[in-house]
Amino acid sequence: MNYPKPFKREGSASLFFNYTDPLTGKRKLKSTGTPRVGESKEFIKTFIDRLTPSGSMTFREYASRFFSPETNPRYIRYKMAGKQYGIGHITTMRQVLTKHVLSRPFADLEFASINRGDILDLLMQLGKELKDHPATIDNIIKFISSIFSEAYYREDLKYNPTQRLTRINYDKEQREVLTPDEIRELFKDPGTWRHKLDYDVFLFAAYTGRRCGEILGLQWDQIKDGYCYIDRAYNRGEKGLSVPKWDKKVMIPLCRTLLERLPERGESPYVFTYEGHPLSLKWWDRASRRELKCRFPGRNIVPHSFRHSLNTNLILALGGQEIFVRKYIGWTESSRDTQAIYTHIKPRDLKFIADKIDEMYCLEPLSHNNIENGDGDDDSSGQAVGPV
């Protein structure tokens, strides 16, 4: 095979090379990360081999291209289609397969020759060694299946040996939900929260059921006339704003209780900020531990529990009118797609949902005197942590 040659680029110490992306057909430029010609040629060879599948490639060689967003074909394909594919998923895949699969003889089998029996033999070995860790085995099955299914989709394989491979059935730790009484108790006194910012963010999460990325990426131009248009979200992989999960955009009316308690608008376009800067995932995780773990010891209560709670409490309060709840929260269920096509619900038709949230989670009239501004993000010591 003829590999691209490294070359110098003005203003950079590292060497570069050009290559054609097999997924898009576009010509791209990439740094080798080193100024040395020999090291650059070795980098280019490894990169191109991972990028271009070959009939003689081993599972290790073929799988390695799934371990980076730059070469993961499913990530690239989803990105081209405007869909999200989590960077965390890629990281976990690399860690799990490197630890439990790539160290085994299975990894050196010719990728195109692997059959279902080879995979079942691998899983039997893993089952004996990891019998107390069914979640790990289930992840391995999921990751191996995704690699083979993508290879089959791209026609790198004539058949998918993971087809009809069953996942592990085990008791997963379920997220718990909070009752309306617990929601009211949690948010009735802002003074019990360490920081106003924590209170503002999680109040919005509880009263709208929005996801983390949608809240961190929320901007003031999305809120108008009592409605909130969810058309963007913070994407960890892109390190910036992207489309919401599954590209599911939704306009929802905000309840009176929440509208009264939105933070004051500053110069930043973002609704929730630390010193004018958008909040980070690091802040979100620490605030969650700081405010939720200590309030609900022994219970699996996380920010996403607010989404589960709102769905559960609304369905109970509305007597099972699930279609309205799905529209408000923005859930996509493939089994309900036909129903969704034949159901025409406009944002104004969801106003009664916002009224129902006010009724369920009703707080006392807002008093601006009982909320003190916090000093920003801290852990247990009160030491501030900067923004993104």
CATH number of the domain where residue 329 is located:
1.10.443.10
- Give phi and psi for 18, each to the nearest 5: -105, 145
Q: Which residue has the higher pLDDT, 340 or 86?
A: 86
Q: Is residue 29 part of a domain?
A: yes
In a domain, 336, yes or no: yes
Q: How far apart are CA 99 and CA 65, in angstroms?
A: 16
Is 160 a domain residue? no
376, part of any domain: no
Q: How many CA atoms lie within 13 A of 185 on its CB side?
A: 8
Question: Given this model, what pLDDT does residue 298 score?
Answer: 85
CA 50 to chain centre: 26
Label residue 99 left, alpha or beta by phi (over 0 means left) and psi (-120 to 50 means alpha). Answer: alpha
**Is residue 92 scored above 60 in pLDDT?**
yes
380 pLDDT band (50/70/90 cuts)?
very low
Q: How many CA atoms lie within 13 A of 218 on its CB side?
A: 24
Same-domain pairing of 128 and 257 = no
* Residue 173 placed within a domain: no
**Is 58 inside any structural domain?**
yes
DSSP letter string over 88-141? HHHHHHHHHHHHHTTTSGGGGSBGGG--HHHHHHHHHHHHHHTTT-HHHHHHHH
Quote the pLDDT of residue 225. Answer: 94
Query: Please, is 317 exposed, middle or buried when counting C-beta atoms within 10 Å of its C-beta (0-12, 13-18, 19+)?
Result: middle
Asked whether 35 and 16 are in contact (CB, 8 A), the reply is no
Residues 223 and 361 in one domain: yes
Answer whether 97's CB lies under 8 Å from 139's CB.
no
What pTM, to 2 d.p., does this model score? 0.60
HSE of 194, CA atoms in CB hemisphere, 13 A: 19
Query: Is there a single domain that holds both residue 144 and residue 190?
Result: no
Residue 373 scores a pLDDT above 50: no
Structural domains of the chain, count: 2
Lowest mean pLDDT among 54-58, 59-63, 340-344: 340-344
Domain range enclosing 277 = 180-370
Examine the domain organization and report whether 146 and 207 are in the same domain: no
Q: How high is the pLDDT of residue 335?
A: 40
Domain boundary among 98, 118, 153: 153
Question: Which of 185, 111, 85, 98 lies closest to 139 in space, CA to CA?
Answer: 98
Q: Is residue 168 part of a domain?
A: no
Q: Which of 175 and 104 is assigned the larger pLDDT?
A: 104
Helix 305-317 and helix 196-208, axial crossing angle in degrees, nearest 10: 40
58 plus 143 within the same structural domain: yes
Lowest pLDDT segment from 13-22, 54-63, 222-231: 54-63
Q: What is the pLDDT of residues 2-34, one digit of tens each?
A: 789 999 998 899 999 998 876 566 788 999 999
Q: Which comes out higher in pLDDT, residue 48 or 104?
A: 104
Structural contact between residues 223 and 262, judged by C-beta atoms closer than 8 angstroms:
yes
Same domain, 198 and 115: no
Is 135 part of a structural domain of the chain?
yes
Average pLDDT of the segment spanning 211-233: 94
**133 and 89 fall within a common domain:** yes
Domain final residue pick, 102, 134, 153: 153
Question: Based on the domain organization, do 71 and 188 belong to the same domain?
Answer: no
pLDDT band at 341 (very low <50, low <70, confident <90, very high): very low
Verify that 279 and 341 share a domain, yes or no. yes
- 43 and 95 both lie in a single domain: yes
* Among candidate residues 157, 158, 360, the one with its CA nearest the CA of residue 258: 360
pLDDT for the residue numbered 51: 67
Paired residues of 270 in beta bridges: 219
Pair (277, 188) in one structural domain: yes
| Sheet of 7-8, strand order | 7-8, 15-20, 27-31
The per-residue pLDDT of the chain, averaged, comes to: 83
Instruction: Please tell me whether residues 107 and 36 are part of one structural domain.
Output: yes
Q: Mean pLDDT throughout 278-307?
A: 90
Quote the CA–CA distance of 130 and 137 in Å, as a whole number. 7
Q: What is the CATH number of the domain that holds 24?
A: 1.10.150
pLDDT score of 173: 65
